Amino acid sequence: LGHRLLLEGGTIKTIEHTAADRGTDIHVRDLFYNTPARLKYMKTIQTELGHISDYIYRIALAHDHISFSLKHNGHSLLQTIGNQDMLQVIASIYGSAVARKMVKLSTEHLDYSLHGYIAKPEITRANRSAISFYVNGRYIRSFVLNNALQQAYHTLLPINRFPIAVLNIQMDPSLVDVNVHPSKMEVRFSKEKELSEFVTGQLRQVLRAETLIPEGQSPWTSSDKNRSSAIQEQFVLYRSSAQEEMEKEPVNGELQQSSDGTPAPAPASVYAPQGGREAAGSSGYEQAKRMEHKEQVKRQDSFRPSTERGGYVPPKVKPDAEAVQAWLSALPKHSEASPKLAEFPQLEPVGQVHGTYIVAQNSDGLYLIDQHAAHERINFEYYYEQFGSPEPASQELLIPITLEFTSAESEQLNRKLSYFAQVGVELEPFGGSTFIVRSYPHWFPQGDEKELIEEMAEWLLTKNSAIDLAQFREKSSALCSCKASIKANQNLSLQAMEALLDKLASCKNPYTCPHGRPIVISFSTYELEKMFKRVM
C-alpha cells in the first residue's frame, strides 16, 4: 500500500491511497507550462534530458543499494537492480564493455578512505564527464581531485583523453567545506595537498598492479547493441541508443621514416617494479564475464589504427648483421629486478608488419607491438634516470653550439638558464639574441644535440607559469627518447626483436609510450579461433 500525490501548477490536486511497490515513482509532464520566464530559457528536449539523465546517473552511482529507473516517453534510459553492486550500476550507465575494463579499489588512510572503480587506460573519453567524485556519499566537483586523478594516469593516456572513474571518499566532515557555492556542488578541503597525494598514490598503485594490454578488435565484431542475453540479465542493461555506441580511441601521431640504416642505441631500463597483483571486480561480475565467454559475446575495443596513414612504404633498409649485433651489444644487461607489480607476458617474436609492428606470440594468443613506441618507453625510463642524477655527466665542446632566438625569447630564456644547468646542459648568453651551448651530457642522442636543446628551450618558453624541475626533466626525457628510438619502416632481425621485447618487459610501465599511446595490443587464441570460425 502506498500514497499517490498529484500536483498541477504547484497546487495539490489529490492525495490518496493506492496499490504500489516499495519505492518512489515520479512522473513529470509539461514542466514550467505556467512559468513563461523559466520555460523561455529551457533548452532543447535532448539537452534538458541530458542534464536530467546525468543527475540521475550520479545519484544511482552513489546509492548502489537503491534501484533506479529512468524513462522518457516510454523508453527506458536506465534501470539498476539495487543489489549493492556498483559495477552493475556502471554497466547500466556506460555499458558492459566498459564495466569489464573497470578496476576495483578499496583503501584507507589515517584521515580518508577511498573506494570505487577506475577504468583501464584503454577506455577513455574526450572530456571529464565520466569522472564522478563523491565525498561521504555526496557527488561533488573538485579541481584538486580531478588533477589528482589525471596525475595517476600520467603517461598512460594520450593528450586530451580522460578516464572513467567512480570514486567515493569518506572523511571527517570537519575536513571539507561545502559552503563554497550555493549549489553545494563545489567544495574545499582543509588538507588539499595530503588528500591529492593520497588519491594519486593509491590510484597509481592499483593501475600498476594491472596488466594494461588492450585487446585487439575482431574484423567481425558487431556493435555494442549485440550483447549476449547472459550479460543483459546480469547487468539489466536499458540504455539509450546514444549510450550504446562504444567510443573508440584513435592513435595519435605517425611514425616517421628512419633516417639511417641502423637502430639507435637503446639503453636498459633502470626501473624495477615491485609489489603484487590485486584482483578486481565482484563475484557477480566475474560470473557474468564467464557467461559472456561461454555465449561468445562479440567484444568492442578502444584501439584502432590511424585512418590517416597512407599505403605501405617498403622498408628502405634490411637488417645488417653487424649493425644489429652492435645495437644488441649496446643494450646493458639486466640488473637484478624486484618482483613486478603486474607480470608482463613473456613474448616470442615471429616477424614484422611493414617494418613497423613486431608480431609476437605466447600460449595466450597473438600480440602486436609498435617497435618505435616500445623502444621509446625503454629509452624514456633510461633518460629519466640520467636526467635525475645529482651531477649529470657532461662533456665540454671544442666548438660550442650556437642557438638563435628572438629578443623577447632571449629575455625570457635568460631567466630560465638554471633549468639547463640542473640537467647538465651549459647554456649561456653570447650577445644579442644568441646563446651558446658549451657542454651537454655525453648520453644525449648523437647527431640530434642541437635540435634537442632547441626543443627543450622552446618548451620552457611556452611555460609562463612556474614549473618544477621534475616537469622539465620528464619533458627532456621524452624528447631524448623519441629521437633515440628506432623508427617505422625499419626491419629488425628476430634477435633484435627478442632483445627489444626483453628490455620492454623490464620497464616500469611497459604498456604505453611517454605520450600515452599503447605499445602492445593482444588477440586471444579464442578471438583468433572465432575469426577463422573454428569455434561457433
Round to whole Å and give the CA distance between 157 and 67. 34
Torsion, Cα 412 414 420 421, to 10 degrees, reads -150
Q: Which residue, 66, 70, 43, is CA-closest to 54? A: 70
Whether residue 212 contacts residue 121, with contact meaning beta carbons closer than 8 Å, is answered with yes
Q: Give the tens place of pLDDT for each residue, 421-479.
A: 988 899 999 988 899 999 999 889 888 899 999 999 999 998 877 788 888 999 999 99
Closest listed residue to residue 511, CA positions, set 369, 349, 357: 369
In the chain, what are the domains? 2-77 (no CATH), 83-209 (3.30.230.10), 345-535 (3.30.1540.20)
Q: What is the pLDDT of residues 171-217, one digit of tens each?
A: 999 999 988 888 888 999 999 999 999 999 999 999 999 989 888 76
What is the greatest pairwise CA distance in the chain? Answer: 95
Question: Residue type at 142?
Answer: S
Query: Pick from 48, 83, 429: which is nearest to 284 by CA?
Result: 83
> Cβ of 255: how many Cβ atoms within 10 Å?
21
Tell me if residue 6 falls in helix, strand or coil. strand
15 bridge partner residues? 5
Cβ(267)–Cβ(329) below 8 Å: no
Low-confidence stretches of the chain (pLDDT beneath 50): 220-318, 332-340
Residues 6+ apart with CB under 8 A from 214: 120, 122, 301, 302, 303, 518, 520, 521, 522
- The pLDDT value recorded for residue 432 is 86
**How far apart (Å, rounded) are the C-alpha atoms in residues 346 and 363?**
9
pLDDT of residue 321: 52
